[in-house]
């Protein structure tokens, strides 16, 4: 199911401010939910007798999935990516049994578990969702919502990051074009970013 966000038809800045607050609350809610799931799995994730490969799979399939639930509809703000990255770094450090005082680089910990940065997986999630929308029939709600233009007076100040703005940047980074969406296998191959050290993610 694809959620479609439509901007309100108002000329005031209060609506834009409300949208920012709503996104911030959603990110915090996802982070908190992921922490609850991580704590419930500490018997596995923090057990030194369990192989790192199994811990990695548990984190990717159980914990990270909770953190990214519904995230395909978020605009990629710096604050959202920062919160998710901080969350993931702490989880992986504690899973590995390292403290900040030990000065182990985050990249080394990622290589150990074979996990790509959560910001990269967030981009992959958005592009996978966008692929579904592009391949949908023209009369479906998600396709109509994607092309919907809402006329309203633009508030003063710098324009806010929109979902489509995020997608355009994602497409450029992944090196794909919307016209390639019909070839699902090729699209998936191009947008998927695994950890090159292990090809585990």
pLDDT for 199 equals: 53
Report the pLDDT value the prediction gives residue 2, as an integer from 0 to 100: 44
What dihedral do alpha carbons 95, 97, 103, 109 form, nearest 10°? -40
**Residue 196: its pLDDT value, please?**
43
Contacts of 116 (CB under 8 A, 6+ apart): 110, 193, 194, 195, 201
DSSP 107-131: HHHHHHHT---HHHHHHHHHHHHHH
pLDDT at 90: 94
- What pLDDT score was predicted for residue 146? 72
> So what's the pLDDT on residue 13?
47
pLDDT at residue 20 in the model? 63
Q: Which residues have CB under 8 Å from 12's CB, separation 6+?
A: 155
Residues 6+ apart with CB under 8 A from 187: 127, 131, 176, 180, 181
Per-residue pLDDT tens, the chain, 201 aa: give them. Answer: 444 444 444 444 444 445 567 888 999 999 999 999 999 999 999 999 999 999 999 999 999 999 999 888 887 788 889 999 999 999 999 999 987 777 888 899 999 999 999 998 988 888 888 888 888 887 787 777 777 666 667 667 666 667 777 888 888 888 888 888 788 888 888 887 654 444 566
């Amino acid at each position: 199911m694809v959620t479609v966000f439509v901007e309100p038809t108002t000329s005031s800045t209060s609506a834009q401010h409300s949208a920012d607050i709503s996104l911030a609350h959603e990110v915090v809610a996802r982070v908190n939910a992921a922490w609850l799931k991580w704590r419930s799995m500490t018997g596995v994730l923090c057990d030194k007798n369990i192989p790192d490969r199994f811990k990695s799979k548990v984190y990717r399939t159980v914990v990270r999935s909770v953190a990214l639930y519904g995230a395909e509809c978020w605009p990629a703000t710096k604050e959202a990516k920062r919160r998710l990255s901080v969350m993931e770094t702490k989880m992986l450090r504690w899973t590995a049994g390292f403290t900040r005082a030990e000065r182990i680089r985050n990249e080394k910990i990622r290589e150990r578990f074979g996990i790509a940065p959560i910001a990269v997986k967030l981009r992959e999630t958005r592009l996978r969702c966008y692929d579904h929308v592009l391949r949908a029939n023209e009369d479906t709600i998600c396709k109509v919502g994607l092309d919907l233009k809402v006329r309203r007076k633009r508030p003063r100040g710098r324009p806010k990051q929109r979902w489509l703005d995020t997608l355009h940047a994602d497409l450029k980074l992944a090196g794909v074009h919307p016209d390639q969406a019909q070839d699902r296998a090729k699209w998936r191959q191009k947008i998927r970013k695994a950890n090159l050290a292990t090809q585990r993610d």
